Amino acid sequence: MSDLSARERFVITGVGLTAPGGANDLPEFRRRLLGGVSGISTIDLRYMGKAPAGICAFEETRYRKKKENKRGTRAGCIGVYCAGEALADAGIDFSGYARAKTGVYIGLTEHGTVETENEVYNISQFDYNVDYWTHHHNPRTVLNNPAGEITMNLGITGPHYTVGAACAAGNAALIQGVQMLKLGEVDLALCGGISECVGSFGIFASFKAQGALAEHPDPTKASRPLDRERNGIVISEGGCVFTLERLDRALARGAKIYAEIAGYAMNSDARDFVLPYGPRQSECMRLALERAGMEPGDITIINTHATGTLQGDIEECKAVREVFGECPGTWTNNTKSSIGHAMGAAGVLELAGNLSSFTDNMIHPTINLDNLDPDCALPGLVAGTARKVDRVNAVLNNSFGMVGINSVIIVKRFVAN
């Protein structure tokens, strides 16, 4: 892709995030990931009781009033914070970009579950009399809600919508941002993903019913992808929004460039509601590599999607091994071991967690990997402690989701022509 003009290259120039355990900006998030710190604690949910979960604590009123947070949704609150932080990090104040040419694309695994559950509970206090059902329900549960709350907060009048793509949604929204920039629909894209899933007992209960909800007496050890003792997913909330710009515009304003989008792909298993399918995942990785004009050995870090389910982890590892075989300069890691599964935010939060590799040349470790499942053995698996390498050139980020949706994004170190 290096022969592309700067108008056809797209770069990440700002990162705003909140991750479980109190990491509310990229440097802190990176510090915790490199240190192998778990962000998982325990939640006590209506009907469900206690479960390990990833909970965020950030300054909710940094970018809007408490009144707006009360009216809106948790996803909107997370989104407004992340978008505000991304713009601040990028140094974008809309003097150089028009709000009408700015798009907001937010990936969601689901939306409205939390609000609906809360409202059903609310009317249960009034003998299920729907006269007590809130007038806020519809604006809170329309699927564009979190993206729309961001536009209202920032006065952005360009397009906004959310991308529903199960747990591939964060990547899917980033891809959407790239595509809209390519088409010239927008000049600036705020794209990322959000999860408010920890507010829903139903999401926990459903994973539990499926036998896929992690349990462990120590919540910080509950998220253990690739480990023999893994027993399911740790559900997390969180968010991450990137500012994505055309390279020429970014260079013209002297922007800090985290990474360049090198390639991406999405495809569908077309098989099963919940079971992932390794062969389609490897096809997706190969397609992303092809579009990036890269060989497997060009990838320095593969950030796995692995969530800690028995079969899901094995399927992905088979797919990774099939594509990458023995690439001596390629390393693998897993971010969910530290932050759990942030659902719609997972892809972008995990990508963000690895972006700093281009500057510190470190690979953050997979934690809680005490006893590697032989079926999950991957070449170059970084476990326990962070690894220093000579140079990180490219990161491949996997994100897969229910009903058979796969997404792969490759970002590379920005090198000027």
Residue 210 binding another protein, by CB under 8 A: no
Applying CB under 8 A, the span of 67-75, 98-106, 188-196, 348-356 interacting with another protein comes to 67-75
- Dihedral (CA of 73, 77, 78, 82) sign: positive
Question: Cα(204)–Cα(213) distance, rounded to whole angstroms?
Answer: 7
Three-state SS at 297: helix
- Give φ, ψ of 191 to 5 degrees: -135, 145
Of 273, 324, 279, 277, which is closest to residue 303 (Cα–Cα)? Answer: 324
Question: Cα(215)–Cα(231) distance, rounded to whole angstroms?
Answer: 7
Q: Which of 3, 67, 127, 415 binds another protein (CB under 8 A)?
A: 67
Applying CB under 8 A, the span of 19-27, 126-134, 160-168, 365-373 interacting with another protein comes to 126-134
Residue 62 binding another protein, by CB under 8 A: no
67 vs 388, beta carbon nearer another protein: 67
94 vs 121, beta carbon nearer another protein: 121
**What b/e sequence results for 386-411 when a residue is b if at least 16 CB atoms lie within 10 Å of its CB, and e otherwise?**
bbebeebbbbbbbbbbbebbbbbbbb
CB of 16 to another protein, least distance (A): 24
129 vs 210, beta carbon nearer another protein: 129
- Give φ, ψ of 79 to 5 degrees: -65, -45
Q: Among residues 111, 160, 216, 341, which one is catalytic?
A: 341
Q: Among residues 77, 305, 364, 376, which one is catalytic?
A: 305
Residue 126 binding another protein, by CB under 8 A: yes
- Contact, 99 vs 254, CB < 8 A? no
Applying CB under 8 A, the span of 124-132, 329-337, 356-364, 391-399 interacting with another protein comes to 124-132
Alpha-carbon Rg for the chain, nearest whole angstrom, is 20
70 vs 388, beta carbon nearer another protein: 70
At position 96, the amino acid (one-letter code) is G
DSSP string, 95-123: SSS-GGGEEEEEEES--SHHHHHHHHHHH
Residue 388 binding another protein, by CB under 8 A: no
How many C-beta atoms lie closer than 10 Å to residue 281's C-beta?
25
DSSP string, 189-244: EEEEEEE-GGG-HHHHHHHHHTT-B---SSGGGT--TTBTT--SBPEE-EEEEEEE
Residue 228 binding another protein, by CB under 8 A: no
Residue 65 binding another protein, by CB under 8 A: yes
Q: Is 305 a catalytic residue?
A: yes
Of 68, 75, 149, 130, which is closest to residue 107 (Cα–Cα)? Answer: 75
Applying CB under 8 A, the span of 60-68, 103-111, 141-149, 198-206 interacting with another protein comes to 60-68
127 vs 390, beta carbon nearer another protein: 127
Q: Which of 22, 36, 41, 71 binds another protein (CB under 8 A)?
A: 71
Burial of 253 (0-12, 13-18, 19+ CB in 10 A): middle
DSSP code of residue 25: S
Question: Cα(379)–Cα(182) distance, rounded to whole angstroms?
Answer: 35
Q: Which of 2, 5, 42, 134 binds another protein (CB under 8 A)?
A: 134
Question: Cα(102)–Cα(97) distance, rounded to whole angstroms?
Answer: 7
Applying CB under 8 A, the span of 132-140, 154-162, 276-284, 395-403 interacting with another protein comes to 132-140
Residue 135 binding another protein, by CB under 8 A: yes
71 vs 286, beta carbon nearer another protein: 71
Residue 128 binding another protein, by CB under 8 A: no
Applying CB under 8 A, the span of 63-71, 95-103, 271-279, 395-403 interacting with another protein comes to 63-71
Residue 127 binding another protein, by CB under 8 A: no
Q: Helices (DSSP H) in 21-73: which residue ranges?
A: 26-34, 66-71
CB of 155 to another protein, least distance (A): 17
Q: Is 216 a catalytic residue?
A: no
Residue 132 binding another protein, by CB under 8 A: yes
The residue count for binding another protein (CB under 8 A) is: 11
CB of 64 to another protein, least distance (A): 11
Q: Which residues bind another protein (CB under 8 A)?
A: 65-67, 70-71, 126, 131-132, 134-136
Catalytic positions, written as ranges: 167, 305, 341
